Amino acid sequence: MSGAVAELLEVLELEKLEENLFRGRSPQDSWQRVFGGQVIGQALVAACRTVEDRQPHSLHAYFLLGGDPKVPIIYEVDRIRDGRSFATRRVVAIQHGRPIFALTTSFHLEEEGFEHGARMPQVPPPEDLPGEAEIRAGAIPSMSPQVRAYFERERPIELRPVDHQRTAQADPHEGEFRVWIRTTGPLPDDPAIHRSVLAYASDFTLLDTSLVPHGQSVIQTNIQAASLDHALWFHRPFRADDWLLYAQDSPSASGARGFSRGLVYDRAGRLVASVAQEGLVRERKRQPDLPPK
C-alpha cells in the first residue's frame, strides 16, 4: 500500500467519541481550507458506522463554511429513519462550535430490480494515456508555489485525463472533461470504504469542469472557486482501487456559479455512480493601481 493511500485510510478512520458522535482529522498539507472531498468522505464514513447490512445509495450535501485543517472536525449523526428496506442519516460537521457542512444520505438493502445504464463514452484506456507525472512535469513550472507543493507530493488518487489539453482550448459551447481515476494502492474489501473513497475523489475535478469552456482552471490565481453543494448516487458495486472513468460535463455557468455533472464507469463499461455539483466560480477583480504617495 502506498503511503498516501495509507494516510487517506487513516483520515477516513474516524474516532468514535460517543454514540452517533465521531471525530476526524485533516492531513497537514499546508492548504488553508479543508478539501471538500475529505469532508464528504468522512461524513459518509460517520453515517455508515451507524447502519448495518445496508450500503449507501445516495447522498446530498451542502458546504456551509470553509473547514480549518488545523483542528479536528466533529461529525454528529442523526438517525432519522430505519425502515425495512431503507435507512436515512443526517450528518453535521462541526468546527469551532459552528456547522461547516451538512449531509443527508440514504441506505438501501440490496435487492433485485430492472437493469439499464448509460453507455460509457469511447475513450482510450488509461494505459494508453500519459501518466500524471508526465502531465505534471509540463504544468508545474506555471503553478503557484502552494499548488506546486501539493502536486509534487505523493497523492492517494491517480488521475489520467483523457482531455488533458482541453483547458487550453476555450469553447463556450463545450464543457466536457473525462478522466480515469483510481487509488495509488490497494484498498480493503469493505464496500463502504470504496464508496467513501469515491465520494472523496468525486470532488477533485468536478468544479474545474465548469471552467473548461473558458480556458480557465481552479488552480489559477485569478479564479476564486469553492464547492457549494454536492450530490452522489451509487448504482452498482465497484472498486475504487481499479480504474474508473469519470466523465464530466458542465451544462451551465452563470451568476458566478458553475454547475457540473459526472458519470462514473468501471473498466467493464458499467455505470457505477452519478454525481452533480454546483460551485462558486468567480474571477478575482484586479485591484486598481494606487497612485504613488
How confident is the model at residue 167, as a pLDDT? 44
Q: What is the dihedral of CA 166, 167, 169, 175, to 10 degrees?
A: 70
Q: What is the pTM of this model?
A: 0.89
d(CA 4, CA 37): 15
pLDDT > 90? residue 236: yes
Identify whether 242 is a catalytic site residue. no
**How far, in Å, CA of 62 to CA of 230, rounded?**
6
Three cell numbers, residue 192 = 463502504
Of 162, 116, 163, 119, the C-alpha closest to 268 is 119
Measured distance CA(247)–CA(263) in Å, rounded: 5
Beta-bridge partners for 75: 22, 93
Sequence-distant (6+) residues with CB within 8 A of 52 are: none
The distance in angstroms from the start CA to the end CA of the chain is: 59
Task: Say what the pLDDT of residue 148 is.
Answer: 57
Under the banding of pLDDT at 50, 70 and 90, the label for residue 215 is confident
3-class state of residue 73 by DSSP: strand
Please give the pLDDT value at position 152.
Answer: 65
- Model confidence over 147-193: pLDDT tens digits? 555 556 678 999 998 876 554 444 554 678 999 999 999 999 999 99
Closest-CA residue to 5 (of 116, 151, 107, 155): 155
The predicted structure's pLDDT at residue 169: 47
3-class secondary structure, 132 = helix
What is the number of H-type helices and E-type strands within the chain? 6, 12
For residue 135, name the pLDDT band (cuts at 50, 70, 90).
low
95 is catalytic: no
Q: What's the rounded Cα separation, in Å, for the pair 59 and 45?
A: 12
Contact indicator for 91, 47 with CB cutoff of 8 Å:
yes
Out of 106, 248, 250, 277, the active site residue is 277
- Report the run of H or E that residue 36 belongs to, with start and end: helix 36-48
Annotated catalytic residue: which of 26, 38, 106, 227? 227
Catalytic annotation present for 26: no
Catalytic residue from among 38, 196, 203, 208? 203
